[in-house]
Amino acid sequence: MNILTDNARLDILSMSLEELTDKMLGLGEKSFRASQIYEWLHQKRVREFSEMTNLSLALRNKLSNEFYIEKLSCVRNLKSSLDETEKFLFELSDGNHIETVLMSYEHGDSLCVSTQVGCKMGCRFCASTIAGFKRSLKPSEILLQLYEAERISGRKVSSIVLMGIGEPLDNFDNVVRFLELLSSEKGTNMSLRHVSLSTCGLVDKIYELAELNLGLTLSISLHATTDEKRSALMPVNKRYNISELMKACRDYFATTGRRISFEYSLIDGTNDTMEDAKALAKLVSGMPSHINVIPINKIKERDYHSSRTAAEGFCKKLQGLGVNATVRRTLGADIDAACGQLRREYEI
Ligand code: SAH
β-pairing verdict for 86-91 and 73-79: antiparallel
Would you call 99 a catalytic residue per the annotation?
yes
β-pairing verdict for 97-105 and 108-112: antiparallel
CA distance 76 to 101: 12
Query: What's the pLDDT at 8?
Result: 84
| Beta strand extents in 255-332 (DSSP E only) | 260-266, 289-295, 325-327
SS3 content of the chain, % helix, strand, coil (to 5): 40, 20, 40
| 199 CA distance to ligand 1 middle (Å) | 9
Cβ count within 10 A of residue 107: 9
* CA dihedral (135, 195, 148, 331) positive or negative: positive
Judge if the beta carbon of residue 221 lies within 6 A of ligand 1.
yes
3-state secondary structure at position 188 = coil
Judge if the beta carbon of residue 280 lies within 6 A of ligand 1.
no
Which residues of the chain carry a pLDDT beneath 70?
1-7, 336-348
Judge if the beta carbon of residue 338 lies within 6 A of ligand 1.
yes
pLDDT tens, position by position, 42-87: 999 999 999 999 999 999 999 999 999 999 999 999 998 888 899 9
Query: What's the pLDDT at 63?
Result: 98
β-pairing verdict for 217-221 and 289-295: unpaired
Query: Nearest 10 degrees: CA dihedral of 88, 91, 97, 103?
Result: -20
Determine the residue of 167, 171, 237, 339 to mutate for testing ligand 1's pocket, defined as the one with the most ligand atoms within 8 A of the Cβ atom.
339
Q: Which residues contact 166 (CB under 8 A, 6 or more apart)?
A: 114, 115, 116, 117, 118, 119, 128, 136, 137
Would you call 70 a catalytic residue per the annotation?
no
**Ligand 1 closest atom vs CA 126:** 19
Q: Of 70, 86, 99, 167, which is the active-site residue?
A: 99
